[in-house]
Chain A
Amino acid sequence: MNAAVTASPTRWRGIQCLSAAARFPFHPIIIRDVRVQLRSGRALRILLLEILILSVVLVMLHLTQIEPEVPYSAHASPPNPSSVYETGQIFRSTVYGANLFVALILGATLPLAAIARERSQRALEYLRLTPLHPLGIVLAEVTATLIIVAATMLFSLPLLLIAGLYGDIMLLSSLKIGWYCLLTALLIGSLGCLFGAGVKRPMRSQGLLIAFLLFLIYISGALFATVPSGNVGYFLPAFAAIQEMTQTLPPPVPIAGVALPQWLLSTAFTCFLSAFLLLGAGRKLYQPDAPVLTPAQFFIGCSICLGLVHGLSWHSHHDEWRVMFGIAAMAAVLMSFTLALPSRRVDPWPRKQAWSVAAILIVGSAALLIWHLEAPNMDTLHYATFLCIPFFAYAALADQIIALGRALFATRRQAITFAMVILVGSGVLVPLLTAMSLVPNHAHDSRERERQILQLACGMTPMPVVMTEYFVKGIAGAERDNVFKDLSQANVGQMAALALAAHLVRRWLNKRSASARHRATPAPME
């Protein structure tokens, strides 16, 4: 009996994770969902709809009296190359568009409906008693959807082959579009999982589904179709698919001298974002009231975004790879915070923080490697310090402040308010007011004064917003000396000291309340 209770050795945990990853295709949720979907015939109905649409298009194409090209026919009249090409283009685009539409619909409906149904039927309680991890469950729901989407695309292959009558079927382009469709289903399915995990009542899930379908318009990237810049395809796979269909591809993005294709960047971004959404969904699955982001994450996320915007707007000219790089790095840092920040009952310091450091170091190292290849003369160690330590220190500080708030106050709202006041106060108001009082007022050179205030405030604040701002400026290749000079003022030390103080106070409070509870509780009766 006790053997079952004994935890497996920690050193085998990595191997267990690898083993679990290898077994993931046989995840019970995937098998069940695919089975149920095939049995219910929902995918089949959608496929029939797709075939119907394509048939209508085909009939309309014939009504335009454009003859398909029949190879090796001596009696055929010579085809008009441009019109044949256009017909093939229209037909291919219709097949691809139908596939994209199916991916959008299935991605939006299946995971959301599956999770909402599990919750409304209280079936999640069964799952909660099994060793299945919530993140694994949501991941499996999305994977099952991807399998269904891939199956519908395979079924549309014969229709695509008809396009061969009008010329080339453009195999590489078709594969790319298929891949973008899967990425779209992944992104939207992840979002659906997140929404579904927060639903408590079935009626609400139906309303949510309708709202979600409207939201798809934005996700599909159709609204950006009129924007001159083609960069949206780097982020939204659906838009990338449209670009591929219409052959309006943006140029490849050079990073470290290597031209990265759009599909690779789109895949990376979609995976980053989906992972982030699925982490949130996994967190909310068993506790729908739990926030997707903890207050500290939200705070840090907002700060980073703000810093990113400031940093990017600093220079009128910047290369696209720099933007991409900055966003990817920030997404990675955000993800690591998601892993790092503690749940309600866990002491914030131990293992999760170690994972946080590891994640940040890995991302930082990768970034530095690329950076080093791009500009070998830069001080790599300086960048490493710059990239990793302040963020980690700030995460630790935010954790401790929030934990302290929970120990001090009875309600969660009070605790969060307390933490916000402390963090915003220490991060923005105090440094800014101090800097404003220290820098003399020169009416004739207000710009110079603003610069000095900002520089001084940056040296005092633990806010990641300024660090991010300087980070992006550093990427843009300007004011590197100033960046390091500011950072060398070591606000990391301030953050560490604050975090330690908060930690000690919280421990003391917890100890005191535990002893009070012990005195109040009578001894158990034997």
Chain B
Amino acid sequence: MPVIEVRDLHVQFGKVNALRGLTMRVEQGDIYGFIGPNGAGKTTTLRVLATLQELDSGSVSIAGADALTQPAAVKRHIGFMPDFATFYPSLTVWEYLDFFARAYGLRGTARKQVVDAAIELTGLRERRDQLVGQLSRGLQQRVGLARLLAHDPEVMLLDEPASGLDPRARIELRQLLRDLAGLGKTIVISSHILSELEDLCSRVGIIDRGRLVAEGTASEIGRQMQAGNSYVIGVAGDAAIARQTLLSLPGVMTTTVLDGRIHIQTDATHADPGDLVRALVLAGIRVVECRKEESGLEKLFLSLTEEGGSS
């Protein structure tokens, strides 16, 4: 049974349809990456999941509780970190976490244990008595994650958690999220930093204009979108002649010359790069480079969202 199940979700702001029939499932222990351009509906989706946004139609179920009819039960299962996380700057890290532990009804030694454990897990032990307002942005994000752990939620919803972080803080954040997933937490994370999600997420959903246009692992989406293969061939001499030679071969669909290299798209039945090189050599063209082009998540994202835009 999926931990998060969203069916046919519609949300409208005035005349704008923010979400148009979004359907998605997230399994236990997944790190689910939610990718989309600005205004695609990522934040709205996360806010609906967090019961902060009313939905117009559809259903949302988290850990078996319906978000519409059992919002209190859903809130017990989730921890939500908004895109613009704010803190109480006059409180120390420990006081801040203690405040939320109290707010979730924890008392006595249980509360202290939970706060200490959250501090330990997020590596904030040395900062526990420092004012939150004096911490760097990266450390504040850690405090935000520690806050989510105050009531030990099954599902963590993170809206753009890496925004504003330097590269080192991003790497630390990624490691921290992996550690949390290792503890059995289900994490839904939205971000514009696609390359990072590609490495981090076990599953990815690409959203555009309120609809999920692709879903699966990064490689699954790649296969879903590309029936053939992409190759890059570098030649010594006139690339235009080589391009004409390649286009005459069966199975070659498109060729593009970029930076002196030829980018070739073939269909699935003619996937042998050896045939391409042999044809060029027979035509008297010297080949200096031949490699298969990996289809990154970023490229997929662009192709999917552009496709949506033209339709």
Interface residues of A (CB under 8 A from B): 1-2, 4-5, 26, 28, 31-32, 35-36, 39-40, 121-123, 125-132, 517, 521-522, 524-525
From B52, B64, B78, B88, contact of A123 by CB (8 A) = B88
Judge whether B91 and A130 touch: CB under 8 Å. no
From A40, A128, A131, A517, contact of B105 by CB (8 A) = A131
Instruction: Determine the main DSSP class of A at the interface with B.
Output: helix
Known contacts A1-B63, A4-B77, A517-B57; A131 and B103 CB within 8 A of each other: yes
Known: A125-B82, A130-B104. 9 other contacts (CB 8 A): A5-B73, A5-B76, A32-B91, A35-B90, A121-B86, A125-B80, A129-B52, A130-B75, A521-B57
| Complex Cα gap A398–B63 (Å) | 39
For A121, the chain B residues whose CB sits under 8 A away are 86
For B139, the chain A residues whose CB sits under 8 A away are none
Chain B, range 58-102, C-beta contacts under 8 Å to A: 59, 63-65, 70, 72-73, 75-80, 82, 84, 86-88, 90-91, 95, 99-100, 102
For B7, the chain A residues whose CB sits under 8 A away are 524
Judge whether B86 and A36 touch: CB under 8 Å. no
Give the Cβ gap from A212 to chain B, nearest Cβ, in Å. Answer: 23
| Complex Cα gap A39–B100 (Å) | 19
> Would you call B23 an interface residue if the criterion is a C-beta within 8 Å of the partner chain's C-beta atoms?
yes
For B158, the chain A residues whose CB sits under 8 A away are none
Give the Cβ gap from A394 to chain B, nearest Cβ, in Å. Answer: 30
For B30, the chain A residues whose CB sits under 8 A away are none
> Would you call B289 an interface residue if the criterion is a C-beta within 8 Å of the partner chain's C-beta atoms?
no
From A2, A35, A123, A128, contact of B95 by CB (8 A) = A35
Judge whether B90 and A36 touch: CB under 8 Å. yes
For A35, the chain B residues whose CB sits under 8 A away are 90-91, 95
> Would you call B50 an interface residue if the criterion is a C-beta within 8 Å of the partner chain's C-beta atoms?
yes
Instruction: Determine the main DSSP class of B at the interface with A.
Output: mixed
Give the Cβ gap from B25 to chain A, nearest Cβ, in Å. Answer: 10
For B77, the chain A residues whose CB sits under 8 A away are 1, 4
Known contacts A2-B64, A126-B100, A521-B57; A40 and B90 CB within 8 A of each other: yes
From B50, B75, B99, contact of A131 by CB (8 A) = B75
Judge whether A5 and B65 touch: CB under 8 Å. yes
Give the Cβ gap from A114 to chain B, nearest Cβ, in Å. Answer: 11
Interface residues of B (CB under 8 A from A): 7-8, 23, 50-52, 57, 59, 63-65, 70, 72-73, 75-80, 82, 84, 86-88, 90-91, 95, 99-100, 102-105, 147, 154
Judge whether B154 and A130 touch: CB under 8 Å. no
Give the Cβ gap from A340 to chain B, nearest Cβ, in Å. Answer: 22
Judge whether A524 and B23 touch: CB under 8 Å. yes
For B72, the chain A residues whose CB sits under 8 A away are 131
For B76, the chain A residues whose CB sits under 8 A away are 4-5, 131
For A36, the chain B residues whose CB sits under 8 A away are 88, 90-91
Give the Cβ gap from B140 to chain A, nearest Cβ, in Å. Answer: 13
Provide 8 A-B residue pairs closer than 8 Å at the C-beta atoms, listed in order of the A residue. A28-B102, A36-B90, A36-B91, A123-B87, A129-B79, A130-B103, A130-B104, A131-B76
| Complex Cα gap A121–B75 (Å) | 21
For B103, the chain A residues whose CB sits under 8 A away are 28, 127, 130-132
Closest to B47 in A: A125
A-B pairs with the 9 shortest C-beta distances? A28-B102, A130-B103, A5-B73, A121-B86, A524-B7, A36-B90, A28-B103, A5-B65, A123-B86
Closest to A39 in B: B90
For B84, the chain A residues whose CB sits under 8 A away are 122
Give the Cβ gap from A346 to chain B, nearest Cβ, in Å. Answer: 12
| Complex Cα gap A2–B65 (Å) | 8
Judge whether B78 and A129 touch: CB under 8 Å. yes
Judge whether B99 and A32 touch: CB under 8 Å. yes
Closest to A26 in B: B102
| Complex Cα gap A410–B277 (Å) | 67
Judge whether A28 and B99 touch: CB under 8 Å. yes
| Complex Cα gap A32–B65 (Å) | 32
| Complex Cα gap A503–B147 (Å) | 46
Give the Cβ gap from A111 to chain B, nearest Cβ, in Å. Answer: 16
Judge whether B99 and A129 touch: CB under 8 Å. no
Give the Cβ gap from B230 to chain A, nearest Cβ, in Å. Answer: 31
Give the Cβ gap from B211 to chain A, nearest Cβ, in Å. Answer: 12
Judge whether B104 and A32 touch: CB under 8 Å. no
| Complex Cα gap A522–B23 (Å) | 12
Judge whether A1 and B57 touch: CB under 8 Å. no
Known contacts A121-B86, A524-B8; A129 and B75 CB within 8 A of each other: yes
Give the Cβ gap from B216 to chain A, nearest Cβ, in Å. Answer: 15
From A5, A39, A122, A128, contact of B86 by CB (8 A) = A122
Closest to B147 in A: A126
For A32, the chain B residues whose CB sits under 8 A away are 88, 91, 95, 99
From A28, A125, A525, contact of B52 by CB (8 A) = A125
For A131, the chain B residues whose CB sits under 8 A away are 72, 75-76, 103-105
| Complex Cα gap A517–B8 (Å) | 13
Closest to B54 in A: A345
Give the Cβ gap from A153 to chain B, nearest Cβ, in Å. Answer: 24
Judge whether A129 and B50 touch: CB under 8 Å. yes
Give the Cβ gap from A321 to chain B, nearest Cβ, in Å. Answer: 44
| Complex Cα gap A525–B25 (Å) | 11
Judge whether B80 and A31 touch: CB under 8 Å. no
For A132, the chain B residues whose CB sits under 8 A away are 103
Closest to A520 in B: B57
Give the Cβ gap from B294 to chain A, nearest Cβ, in Å. Answer: 31
For A522, the chain B residues whose CB sits under 8 A away are 8
Closest to B75 in A: A129
